[in-house]
Amino acid sequence: MAIVTLIAAGCLDDRLIDRALGSLREIDPKAAFAAWIDEGDAVDLKVSGDLKAIRWALDGMEGVDVFVQPEENRFKRLLVADMDSTIVGQECIDELADFAGLKREIAEITERAMQGKLDFKSALRERVAMLSGLDEESIQRCVKERVIPNPGAATLIRTMRVGGAYCMLVTGGFVSFADPIAKLLGFNSIRANRLLFDGGLLSGSVEDPIVDAQSKVEALVEMRSELGLSPDQVLAVGDGANDRLMVEEAGLGVAFRAKPALAEVADARLDHHGLDALLWAQGIRRRDWVVG
């Protein structure tokens, strides 16, 4: 048996539910309403059959985020999250580049890398080299003035932590950004790249080994093993091509406002709601959220 969760905050009504059930009954004639999570916001339906076929049947419901998963281990014990354009709304290196007057040039490289059109490591080294000579104060100002968590990020992390989950921030970005963001939101740990300095100025280099797509999935597998969890107890969320491997490895892999390279392999897409909607996906009612 599978659980289908429909999320349409403030807009979920009988019409949308009936439409979804009509599509599902082409796969499973016994598909049925299960329970409201929060009335008018999120609902569970029950269905049996191939999960991919169920997802395809509900693809394209306007304004609705859809999650399809087995009933077992619905609340995840490990969350692995990307940072840039996922937990925060910015690409941190692009914002930092603005302090050097190079935002347009560097943002173009970033976008191509996130689309999977460039080798991530080479693209990272190229961009960091362009920032050579920028001072540490600029990084601190950038974190303070430019980097803003996405809606629902703090509530997601804090609620999962209260429920006993381990939360890890895994990013191809930099420790200088990831560490304060992780502390602000309540992550247990981070995995990020480290910028190298020469006399208080960026040297134009990044410490090896670089955290890339392979490093991200390795971090997930290592932490999963350390915690003694099964794959279906893991939630991963990201937005770009370098999140693809970890999203595929997770029991529930979510593409958040994602590039096509990630969206095509994810178990679910979160296109219309904040990150706290991932709590509804895990069956957690709003009254139990720890609001950040």
Name the residues annotated as catalytic.
Answer: 82, 84
Answer whether 45's CB lies under 8 Å from 24's CB. yes
For 38, what's the count of Cα atoms within 13 Å in the CB-facing half-sphere? 19
Beta bridge partners of 78: 166, 234
Answer whether 246's CB lies under 8 Å from 220's CB. yes
Q: Considering Cα of 259, then 263, then 265, then 268, what sign does the dihedral take?
A: positive
The CA distances from residue 78 to 171, 225, 245, 277, 283, in Å, are 16, 11, 16, 17, 16
User: What is the Cα–Cα distance from 268 to 67, expressed in whole angstroms?
Assistant: 6
Cis upstream peptide for 231 (omega within 30°)? no
Per-residue tokens: 150: 């996405």
Answer whether 169's CB lies under 8 Å from 187's CB. yes
- The amino acid sitting at 195 is L
- Coil vs helix vs strand at 204: strand
